[in-house]
């Protein structure tokens, strides 16, 4: 959230309190003289003379009371997309990438890069390709089976053993994802050679600069025409397709792991997951956990307690 902190005199703060009397909050934070709130900003004035302005119109509101010399700190709104997208990107021939499984305790991370040519966009719409968050798992499976026969793609599945190893080495999930996205793109570029996409669209999980920082030690790095956007499934069908194939692969991996466990492993990271993990520990021993789960999740501690 954008915010500005000003250092103001006691008189100014008193004038402000009167000015914002219609917006005053009943309760004030500790050490505050008053707090006010509207739909576009909130203000907290402290006895120290510091006044915090927050929200969409924080800067505008702060400008009413202070000048440059009063500013203690200021933070502007950061735009959602860190790189501007080229116009007409929606109808380009693109590689899109997305991942699944990062928030699930059980099961691997799956990352997919998918290439969708401009002349295939209509067909993919007919298949029902869209943001996978709006699709049920049975529909995703149905569409994915068609997609994998229609479009070139690269699927990477990171087994839990490998995930846990990387995590223990100090890799963040962001780094794990960035490395996998870069690899999936490289594989797919090789696969479709000599054809070249007009661009590559990554469903953004990290700012562009952070993404490249994560993969700076990789032997080969794709940089040309790479675009980042949040909610990229809604921008180009290649990302939606990648997301559907990744989800399909994740579901299949979960079926496989459930077979090995001897019972159905739940998705997500909620209370059901704790119980299933406790059952798994009792049945197969705690040493086997790393084959099925992302060990560093808080679920591990809860499951161990439950299994006692
Ligand atoms: Mn995504």
Question: Which residues, including other chains, have CB under 8 Å from residue 176's CB and lie 6 or more apart?
Answer: 109, 158, 163, 166, 167
Q: How far is the CA of 305 from the centre of ligand 1 (A)?
A: 33
Q: How far is the CA of 109 from the centre of ligand 1 (A)?
A: 12
Q: How far is the CA of 142 from the centre of ligand 1 (A)?
A: 20
Tell me how far apart the alpha carbons of residues 15 and 74 are, in angstroms, rounded to a whole number: 22
Q: How far is the CA of 62 from the centre of ligand 1 (A)?
A: 36
Q: Are strands 199-203 and 94-100 parallel, antiparallel or unpaired?
A: parallel
Q: How far is the CA of 299 from the centre of ligand 1 (A)?
A: 23
Q: How far is the CA of 203 from the centre of ligand 1 (A)?
A: 5
What pLDDT, in 10s, does the model give residues 89-125? 999 999 999 999 999 999 999 999 999 999 999 999 9
Structure tokens at 169: 């080495």
Beta pairing partners, 113: 97, 154
Of 153, 141, 180, the residue nearest 96 (C-alpha): 153
- Inter-residue contact 52 to 43 (CB < 8 Å): yes
Q: How far is the CA of 132 from the centre of ligand 1 (A)?
A: 10
Of 134, 159, 92, the residue nearest 240 (C-alpha): 134
Sequence-ordered alpha helix ranges (H) in the chain? 10-19, 58-63, 121-127, 137-150, 160-168, 173-192, 208-214, 237-261, 271-284, 289-292, 299-307
Asked whether residue 81 carries a pLDDT value surpassing 60, the answer given is no
Q: How far is the CA of 131 from the centre of ligand 1 (A)?
A: 10
- Inter-residue contact 47 to 39 (CB < 8 Å): no
What pLDDT, in 10s, does the model give residues 225-272? 999 999 999 999 999 999 999 999 999 999 999 999 999 999 999 999
For the chain, percent of residues with pLDDT exceeding 90: 89
Question: Which residues, including other chains, have CB under 8 Å from residue 94's CB and lie 6 or more apart?
Answer: 115, 116, 197, 198, 199, 200, 201, 236, 238
Tell me how far apart the alpha carbons of residues 131 and 278 are, in angstroms, rounded to a whole number: 34
The whole-number pLDDT of residue 133 equals 82
Tell me how far apart the alpha carbons of residues 139 and 136 are, in angstroms, rounded to a whole number: 5
What pLDDT, in 10s, does the model give residues 126-151? 999 998 888 999 999 999 999 999 99
Q: How far is the CA of 204 from the centre of ligand 1 (A)?
A: 7
What pLDDT, in 10s, does the model give residues 146-179? 999 999 999 999 999 999 999 999 999 999 999 9
DSSP labels for 6-28? EE--HHHHHHHHHHTGGGB-SS-
Structure tokens at 214: 């994560």
The average pLDDT across 35-41 equals 93
pTM for the structure as a whole: 0.74
71 — phi, psi (to 5°)? Answer: -75, 125
Q: How far is the CA of 212 from the centre of ligand 1 (A)?
A: 17
Q: How far is the CA of 248 from the centre of ligand 1 (A)?
A: 14
């Amino acid at each position: 959230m954008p915010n500005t902190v000003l250092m103001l005199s006691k008189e100014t703060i008193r004038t402000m309190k009167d000015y914002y009397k219609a917006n005053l909050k009943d309760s004030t934070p500790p050490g505050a003289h008053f707090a006010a709130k509207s739909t576009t900003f909130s203000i907290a004035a402290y006895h120290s003379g510091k006044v915090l302005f927050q929200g969409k119109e924080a800067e505008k509101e702060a400008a009413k009371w202070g000048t440059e010399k009063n500013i203690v700190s200021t933070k502007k709104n950061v735009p959602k997309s860190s790189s501007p997208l080229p116009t007409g990107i929606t109808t380009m021939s693109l590689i899109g990438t997305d991942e699944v499984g990062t928030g699930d305790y059980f099961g691997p991370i799956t990352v997919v890069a998918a290439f969708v040519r401009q002349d295939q966009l209509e067909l993919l719409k007919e298949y029902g390709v869209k943001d996978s968050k709006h699709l049920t798992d049975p529909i995703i499976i149905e569409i994915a089976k068609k997609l994998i026969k229609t479009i070139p793609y690269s699927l990477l599945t990171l087994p839990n053993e490998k995930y846990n190893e990387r995590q223990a080495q100090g890799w963040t999930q962001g780094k794990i994802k960035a490395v996998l996205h870069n690899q999936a793109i490289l594989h797919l570029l090789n696969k479709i050679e000599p054809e070249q996409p007009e661009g590559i669209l990554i469903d953004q999980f990290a700012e562009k600069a952070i993404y490249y920082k994560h993969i700076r030690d990789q032997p080969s790095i794709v940089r040309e025409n790479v675009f980042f956007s949040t909610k990229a499934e809604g921008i180009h069908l290649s990302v939606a397709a990648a997301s559907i194939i990744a989800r399909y692969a994740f579901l299949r991996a979960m079926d496989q792991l459930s077979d090995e466990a001897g019972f159905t492993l739940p998705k997500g990271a909620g209370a059901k997951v704790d119980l299933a993990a406790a059952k798994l520990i009792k049945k197969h021993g705690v040493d086997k956990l790393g084959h099925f789960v992302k060990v560093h999740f808080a679920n591990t501690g809860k499951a161990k307690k439950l299994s006692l």
